[in-house]
Amino acid sequence: MCGIVGYIGNNNAIPVILKALEKLTYRGYDSAGIAIIEKGKLVVEKKVGKIRELIRALWGKSYQSHIGIGHTRWATHGAPSVENAHPQTDEGKNFAIVHNGIIENYQELKEELIKKGHKFQSQTDTEVIVHLIAEYYKGNLLEAVLKAIKRLKGAFAFAVISTFEPDKIVAVKKGSPLIVGLGKGENFLASDIPAILPYTRNVIPLDDGEIAVLTKDSVDIFNFEGLPVSKEIFVVPWDILSAEKGGFKHFMLKEIFEQPKAISDTIGGFLSQDLNLPFDIKNINRIITIACGSSYHAGLVGKYWIEKNAKIPNEVIYASEFRYADVPIDENTLVLAISQSGETADTRFAALSAKEKGATVVGIVNVVGSSLDREADFTLYTHAGPEISVAATKTYSAQLTLLYLISILLAHKKNLISKEDFYNRIDEFKKIASSVEKTLQLNEKISDIASKYKHSSSILFMGRWLNYPTALEGALKLKEISYIHAEGYPAGEMKHGPIALIDENMPVVIIAPKDRVYDKILSNLEEVLSRKGRVISVGFEGDKVLKQKSEKFLSIPYTDEEWTPLITVVPLKLFAYHIADQLGLDVDQPRNLAKTVTVE
């Protein structure tokens, strides 16, 4: 999704902005641009494609500027092109803007501005903001911005600079994320923390309805009425090195190998947190989980755990569906909003609407200080560290870990298990991290297997019970990074339709640890074999029956049936990774996708 950066200070703005933009590229983008003020004039450079195109365009041009804004764009309104790339400017070239989000009423504003004589150069919704600011500018940039935002509908974050006031950046947040980074004699702006980590760890995350005015020596925050707001400085705990590749070919592979640590750190973080719940469990008669993508799949596994251990009905709903459905919610409903980024618009807005209806909203997030973290009634954190690759891997493992812990915490609070039992189970559960470590030894074998299936046009994934969501996750991972069509199914549903797809060309991944549904899924496997499907199975080591029936067998260490989703998903992530890598695809930044989806 689009990325915003801004810099004002004693150093040359261009290298700072380019470096910061590079740190945001993991979010996905199709064009990039930068605007600076040099010798009182606005200089804008924009390119379609990768940041390196922008760097090449700036090569040899010895611009010196101490203020600038930059952007990576992921097209929503208007195709990827130089005209539509940001920064957008007014025709007088006195104002430049970078923007994330969507201006819903841009069409009517555009018509109004055209009637007033403004000339538009792009198809973007963004351009109306810069024209509005130019229209309202009467010698005070902050006042012009305050007036302009009153006219805008939608969720947005933007930063604006002007040749009339070249000593400041004005930034606005309503819906999309924006943070200010604090330096000495310099200040930064970014839509995501990794962009400014090379420069500072002291940040102020802006809340919705706030405006920041940055000069090189000061940062002032106002509300949309123009009144000052006081904010706390937040110190980012992440180590910059953990956002580098550390010898791995891709961030995705590095992050797959960081799963054991993500699991252990999440257990450690959970145990060091205050486990007194800020609500009375006796009043909760229902749990609703809202999430998107991989976080949704984690929520599906969590449902089985919560219903089994805490005996509370738990519905799992896509956040984008929840928002417009009439889901009965009241103060006896507990809502789990799962989002690694904490910025996914669908999840945030669904959580806010549940909160309005009286539910208690628990955020399950990886990014401390993110919007969902601040908007939820309270947050339980996954401790996976920064995830750079677009495809979620270690954050999924961390979410599963936390959801299991929540399920037994709720059970304990309901007196279904004793305190001693609660801590004993956690001690046992800690061993999962070393089982994941062991499973990672399959890496090379899976790379070989991937080479045999990489030209498939479609692959099915089947699982049952706790591993039905694993099948969904395996299919999602494969399709998003390899562009091979994949479907995840509960294996028992196969005979109700998908079985028609099976022939000698169809690889079918079957997840079959020896659990309560093992015999059932073996019958499903037979159904695949009798239609000549090619079975790749994931099962416990020593499972001769499964091995003998499969074209390829991936053996995972024996694990308590309840915890298998943390292990079975590991080979599936490696499978997707190696297929995409062997096909020569951009594994960390797959086409059309963004790491943080801040539009609805």
- The phi, psi pair for 471, rounded to 5°, reads -65, -40
Considering only CA atoms, which of 371, 393, 434, 429 is closest in space to residue 563?
429
379 binds ligand F6R (CB under 6 A): no
Question: Contact with ligand F6R (CB under 6 A): which of 391, 460, 528, 576?
Answer: 391
* Spatial separation of the C-alpha atoms in residues 535 and 509, rounded to whole Å: 6
* 2 is known as an active-site residue: yes
Q: Which residues pair with 233 in a beta bridge?
A: none
Catalytic residue among 2, 46, 168, 549: 2
Using the minimum distance from each CB to ligand F6R, give the nearer residue, 131 or 323: 323
294 binds ligand F6R (CB under 6 A): yes
98 binds ligand F6R (CB under 6 A): no
191 binds ligand F6R (CB under 6 A): no
361 binds ligand F6R (CB under 6 A): no
From the CB of 344, what's the least distance to ligand F6R, in Å?
Answer: 3
DSSP single-letter state for residue 78: S
Using the minimum distance from each CB to ligand F6R, give the nearer residue, 340 or 397: 340
First to last CA, the chain: 12
Considering only CA atoms, which of 212, 185, 208, 183 is closest in space to residue 196?
183
Considering only CA atoms, which of 549, 393, 406 is closest in space to residue 480?
393
Using the minimum distance from each CB to ligand F6R, give the nearer residue, 208 or 346: 346
From the CB of 593, what's the least distance to ligand F6R, in Å?
Answer: 8
347 binds ligand F6R (CB under 6 A): yes
C-alpha radius of gyration, the chain, whole number = 25
Considering only CA atoms, which of 418, 417, 388, 384 is closest in space to residue 402?
384
Using the minimum distance from each CB to ligand F6R, give the nearer residue, 84 or 347: 347
From the CB of 476, what's the least distance to ligand F6R, in Å?
Answer: 6
* 595 is known as an active-site residue: yes
* Spatial separation of the C-alpha atoms in residues 257 and 384, rounded to whole Å: 12
In the block, which residue shows the tokens 């024209």? Answer: 131
Q: Which of residues 45-84 bind ligand F6R (CB under 6 A)?
A: none
Q: Which of residues 406-465 bind ligand F6R (CB under 6 A)?
A: none
* Spatial separation of the C-alpha atoms in residues 315 and 306, rounded to whole Å: 10
371 binds ligand F6R (CB under 6 A): no
* Spatial separation of the C-alpha atoms in residues 469 and 467, rounded to whole Å: 5
- Specify the stretch interacting with ligand F6R by CB under 6 A; choose among 61-69, 293-301, 426-434, 495-503: 293-301
From the CB of 279, what's the least distance to ligand F6R, in Å?
Answer: 23
Q: Which residues of 41-71 are buried (b: 16+ CB within 10 A; e: fewer)?
A: ebbbbbbbebbeebbeebeeeeeebbbbbbb
Question: Contact with ligand F6R (CB under 6 A): which of 22, 255, 480, 543?
Answer: 480
3 binds ligand F6R (CB under 6 A): no
Question: Contact with ligand F6R (CB under 6 A): which of 176, 339, 397, 470?
Answer: 339
- Specify the stretch interacting with ligand F6R by CB under 6 A; choose among 89-97, 281-289, 333-341, 496-504: 333-341
DSSP single-letter state for residue 62: -
Question: Contact with ligand F6R (CB under 6 A): which of 392, 512, 535, 556?
Answer: 392
320 binds ligand F6R (CB under 6 A): no
69, 6 Cβ separation under 8 angstroms: yes
Using the minimum distance from each CB to ligand F6R, give the nearer residue, 309 or 589: 589
Question: Contact with ligand F6R (CB under 6 A): which of 25, 126, 289, 341?
Answer: 341
Task: Give the strand order in the sheet containing 378-381.
Answer: 314-318, 286-291, 333-339, 360-365, 378-381
Residues 6+ apart with CB under 8 A from 44: 33, 34, 35, 87, 89, 93, 96
The secondary structure of 405-435, three-state, reads HHHHHHHHHCCCCCHHHHHHHHHHHCCHHHH
From the CB of 387, what's the least distance to ligand F6R, in Å?
Answer: 8
* Number of neighbouring beta carbons within 10 Å of residue 482: 26
From the CB of 182, what's the least distance to ligand F6R, in Å?
Answer: 26
User: For ligand F6R, which residue has the nearest CB?
Assistant: 293
Element (H, E) at 539: strand 534-540
Query: What sign results for the dihedral spanned by CA atoms 593, 596, 597, 599?
Result: negative
Using the minimum distance from each CB to ligand F6R, give the nearer residue, 511 or 521: 511
Q: β-strand 67-73 against 179-182: which pairing, if any?
A: unpaired
Question: Contact with ligand F6R (CB under 6 A): which of 33, 175, 205, 293?
Answer: 293
In the block, which residue shows the tokens 């991290």? Answer: 433
Q: Which of residues 121-160 bind ligand F6R (CB under 6 A)?
A: none
Using the minimum distance from each CB to ligand F6R, give the nearer residue, 344 or 360: 344
588 binds ligand F6R (CB under 6 A): no
385 binds ligand F6R (CB under 6 A): no
Using the minimum distance from each CB to ligand F6R, give the nearer residue, 2 or 18: 2
391, 590 Cβ separation under 8 angstroms: yes
From the CB of 365, what's the least distance to ligand F6R, in Å?
Answer: 8
470 binds ligand F6R (CB under 6 A): no
Question: Contact with ligand F6R (CB under 6 A): which of 243, 262, 292, 462?
Answer: 292
Question: Contact with ligand F6R (CB under 6 A): which of 196, 310, 329, 597?
Answer: 597
Using the minimum distance from each CB to ligand F6R, give the nearer residue, 160 or 436: 436
Helices 468-482 and 564-582: crossing angle, nearest 10°?
Answer: 20
Structure tokens at 5: 């950066």
295 binds ligand F6R (CB under 6 A): yes
Residues designated as active site: 2, 595
Binding site for ligand F6R (CB under 6 A): 292-295, 339-341, 344, 347, 391-392, 476, 480, 597
